[in-house]
Structure 1
Amino acid sequence: MTEIFAKAEVDRRTLLRRAAAVGLMATPAVGMLSACVGGGDDDKTQQQSTGTKSAENPLGIDPKAGVEIIIFNGGLGTAYSTDVDTPLFNKKWPDAKVTFSQTEQISTVVQPRINAGTPPDMINNSGSNLMDFGAIVKAGQAADLTDLFAAPSWDVSGKTVADTLVPGAVEQGSYDGKPFAMNYSFTVFGLWYNKKLFDSKGWTVPTTWADFTALCDKIHAAGITPFGFAGANASYYMVRALLTSAAKIGTEQALKDIDNLKPGAWTADPIKKAAAAWGEIGNKYINKTFLGLKHTEVQLQQNQDKLAFYPCGSWLENEQAKDTPPTFEYAVAAYPSVTTSDQLPATAINAAAGEIYFAAAKGKNPQGGKEYIRAMLSKEAALGFTKLTKSLTVVSGAADGQTISPGLTSANDLLGKAGKDVFMGYLFDTWYKKLDDESRAAANDLMFKGGDADKFCQRMEAASQAVAKDSSVTKFTRS
């Protein structure tokens, strides 16, 4: 057994974003595409490197052409790229120099280069400053990855790249039926807690809302804040918690209606019930000072056993690696059932592929960018990623037989218990920035300023319909 022990030294994870959804279809654009994404005039197009396709070179790259990549430096760090992916790529293509750079400000650094027609060949579009990927696709700036997914796997004989991925991985980055993104990191979302603390106190993870509030009372009596999140920069964690509960009440259709800007989606019964339940948690069990704190500050309080439950994704364990004491062992629980008539079971969870990687259509070497992604989708690279980041990937079975960290083990257990009841969640946060911004502000008001569920729903409904009526916003639909 190989023990996964490496801890990537990272500053923070500002945001895990997902690309497009399974079955994503772009509707005809209404109005002009966002002016921030240039279409790439012919006189701006770089001369592109090409090679001869063969069994050993299925994407037809020029084996001597350099490949420029840029990676977002967040909670996952960049060591997986410099220490795993690039050496693996260069072992096969020793004359293809990889030029690496990293940034915490993807849009600020990359968008001007896209507009100028001189983008890097492969881009990790992530973080709170990520680019509008839907606009990039519509502007023809992202390369079609059909040939990548149809190519032979890097290290699994007899299978294509697509064959080696978890179900839905290709479709998740598809627009109008064509794949333009590779969503690499597979994240499990839920309520994170210290298993050692819970074991020592004899606290049982709740499955019903009544059990949840009863446990919160016990936790509060023990002098610990029962539940919390950072209002300053991580209120979207709370948005996800609330909408996960709504999906369990009324199935994922409630979230699809929100994504599709359907009138009445935000005031529908599942959203109202979820908002009311979580508003009660905010009124009774949250520390109001968390409104002004950043996520790392709140996460540190949890590591110090000042906070019991924290809503987050499975990147949390790695992000807090340097601050996690020996007395703390990460574990994750599914969000409890809100009602006795929830349409999804208590074990149902939200889990999805995230972290957008794409090849730039107007780069000097887009095929080289795709080949770099093919290397990333090898089992060897995927296992290296998991070792360094404590995060799973979309490469099926890449971590099988490995001893993995406590938090990731717990997340795997949660996936097993959920079975078929794993749903992707919502997509409006990557489609419509104004709606995403409003949801964060509304979640903060709900949880820190009174818990008025009706006010939350009405506010979000108004914001949704304002986006729906805005002809300058490119619309997408989800089936």
Structure 2
Amino acid sequence: MPHTPRISRRELLRGAALVPVAGALGACATPAAPPAASTSAAPVATSAANPFGVAADKPLEVWIFDGGFGQDYATNIHQPLFKSKYPGVEIKHNATKEITKILQPRFAGGNPPEVIDNSGAQFIDFGALSQDGQLQDLTPLLDAPSWDDPNVKVRDTIDQSVIDIGQYDGKFSVLGYVNYIYGIWYSQKVFRDNGWQIPKTWDEFIALCETVKKSGKMAPFTYAGKFPQYLYEPLLTMAAKIGGNEVLVNIDNLEDGAWTAEAMKTAATAWAEVGAKYLMEGTTGLDHVQTQTAQNKYKVAMLPSASWLENEQKTTTPADFEYGVFPIPDVTGSDKLPYGTLHTQPGENFIVSARSPHPQAGLEYLRAMLSKKAAGDFSALVRTVTAVKGATEGREISPGVTSATKAVTNAGANTVYYRWFNWYGPLKDEAIAATGELMSGGLTPDKYLERIQKKADEIKNDSSIKKYQRQ
């Protein structure tokens, strides 16, 4: 489930010129005033049971990214729950792998759908959507009574990181529904059968790669060569572990020299060695599913991914495979963050379109999604953890989710994240291309980081691109 837009912000904004309707995502990058929630639907009386004023007979259009989690959770869990309270609201369900291609013209034409799972390889640039006033302010959702208990606000039922990371222009406007837990994934059965131990230092990791390589049983390591963001994730996490969280904060804030910091050089050098010595043959030409399936076929021992992996691979994973995940090992002996530090980040990002015909229903749909039943059923169905607190309590969960949940518990407060990839589409495109070159030997670590830094500097100095600040 790669998460990279195939379209830059400038291309996104220019793309509106193909649509003969002025306005949304137009060629001018001047931010539009965000529309009020009530401007595109006739006012309906609100109440504790209907906090946003959903019109009982007005349709609701929902678009789901049809990726690693599929779409059954929407049609079988979320939508029936919504309909149980609003039977007269027709839900127009749709699913696609090409969010930008299908829906960007809808935004440009001024007729976007209410709810979008803006995820996958072709998600629409959130920064551009925010800059053009397309994102509905979800703050009223946070302050509404939760679906389960009218005495508890929605904001008190979800992880705080969801609220922090979902902020654009100071407003909560993107709901990360899933708690993505990143790390190095492996088969617990394979490690147990071969007596391989989880490496806790980078020297131990390299020694393990040597052991696996010399065994002749499988390759040590792979990643989605066609989608190198799978590899820059552990690289950035390693840099944060070495140099502290400020490494990622500086990158997010486009600080001078952030990409070429010493911690980044150390991390890039470490992963370049893996690329040179320990990759499964043919890695650079394979996508995420192909490399993950190779792991299921016991052709490779380890790969970087996140907690969507287990569900994404459910049709090819042997019954006794037992997915597990371990964190980036200690690197220097004096890393600023301790062993067990994890990159965790809300994902599977849902938005409500501010200019849709019925945004009130969009807000209510998200409120239903955030109920314990909806979140718990989702976790059981797609083998992952949502942002809703305690949603998996009392439920039997899979080996991968169990391992990831344990890793998060062990990490405690030592979790990191970054936001630049959602804020600045062109920077993400450059980082993806450069990381592929690093891992294939086309760029030295220094040249790799200089290339990305150059793009970051260009964005910083481009007054047409809205800038975001992270504390």
Q: Which TM-score applies when normalising by structure 2?
A: 0.92
Post-superposition CA distance 1:185-243 (Å, at most 9, x none): 111000000100100111110010111111111111111211111212x2101000100
- Rounded Cα–Cα distance in structure 2 between residues aligned with 1:46 and 1:53: 15
- Rounded Cα–Cα distance in structure 2 between residues aligned with 1:235 and 1:291: 9
Q: 1:455 to 1:32 in 2, by over 3 A?
A: closer
- Rounded Cα–Cα distance in structure 1 between residues aligned with 2:442 and 2:360: 53
1:229 aligns with: 223
SS of residue in 2 equivalent to 1:34: helix
Matched, 1:198 2:191: yes
**Partner residue of 1:443 out of 432, 435, 440:** 435
Q: What is the Cα deviation at residue 35 of structure 1?
A: 4.1
**Partner residue of 1:83 out of 59, 62, 76:** 76
- Rounded Cα–Cα distance in structure 1 between residues aligned with 2:280 and 2:186: 16
Q: What is the Cα deviation at residue 33 of structure 1?
A: 9.7
- Rounded Cα–Cα distance in structure 2 between residues aligned with 1:177 and 1:475: 12
Is residue 76–residue 319 contact of structure 1 (8 Å, CA) maintained in 2?
Answer: yes
Q: What is the Cα deviation at residue 47 of structure 1?
A: 4.9
Percent identity between the aligned chains? 40
AA aligned to 1:406 is P
Q: What is the Cα deviation at residue 107 of structure 1?
A: 1.2
Q: What is the Cα deviation at residue 385 of structure 1?
A: 1.1
Matched, 1:34 2:34: no
Is residue 167–residue 174 contact of structure 2 (8 Å, CA) maintained in 1?
Answer: yes
Q: 1:200 to 1:263 in 2, by over 3 A?
A: same
SS of residue in 2 equivalent to 1:65: coil
Post-superposition CA distance 1:293-324 (Å, at most 9, x none): 11111111111111011000110110100000
Matched, 1:262 2:255: yes
Is residue 220–residue 279 contact of structure 2 (8 Å, CA) maintained in 1?
Answer: yes
1:317 aligns with: 310
1:354 aligns with: 347
Matched, 1:471 2:463: yes
2:170 aligns with: 177
- Rounded Cα–Cα distance in structure 2 between residues aligned with 1:111 and 1:372: 22
Q: Which TM-score applies when normalising by structure 1?
A: 0.90
Select the structure with the greater relative contact order (CA < 8 A; seq sep ≥ 6).
1
AA aligned to 1:360 is S
**Partner residue of 1:70 out of 63, 85, 95:** 63
1:9 aligns with: none
**Partner residue of 1:145 out of 134, 138, 143:** 138
Q: What is the Cα deviation at residue 176 of structure 1?
A: 2.7
- Rounded Cα–Cα distance in structure 2 between residues aligned with 1:170 and 1:51: 27
SS of residue in 2 equivalent to 1:85: helix
- Rounded Cα–Cα distance in structure 2 between residues aligned with 1:465 and 1:200: 49
Indicate the larger mover: 127-136 or 308-317: 127-136
1:460 aligns with: 452
1:284 aligns with: 277
- Rounded Cα–Cα distance in structure 2 between residues aligned with 1:122 and 1:266: 35
Is residue 288–residue 448 contact of structure 1 (8 Å, CA) maintained in 2?
Answer: no
- Rounded Cα–Cα distance in structure 2 between residues aligned with 1:93 and 1:467: 45
SS of residue in 1 equivalent to 2:315: helix
**Partner residue of 1:398 out of 376, 391, 394:** 391
- Rounded Cα–Cα distance in structure 2 between residues aligned with 1:466 and 1:415: 36
2:3 aligns with: 15
Q: 1:262 to 1:454 in 2, by over 3 A?
A: same
1:8 aligns with: none
- Rounded Cα–Cα distance in structure 2 between residues aligned with 1:344 and 1:448: 29
AA aligned to 1:99 is K
AA aligned to 1:440 is I
Is residue 2–residue 229 contact of structure 2 (8 Å, CA) maintained in 1?
Answer: no
Alignment of 1:322-337 (within 5 A): 322-337=315-330
SS of residue in 1 equivalent to 2:70: coil
- Rounded Cα–Cα distance in structure 2 between residues aligned with 1:173 and 1:247: 21
| Structure 2 residue ranges without an equivalent (≥5) | 17-21, 25-31
**Partner residue of 1:55 out of 43, 48, 52:** 48
Is residue 14–residue 75 contact of structure 1 (8 Å, CA) maintained in 2?
Answer: no
1:213 aligns with: 206
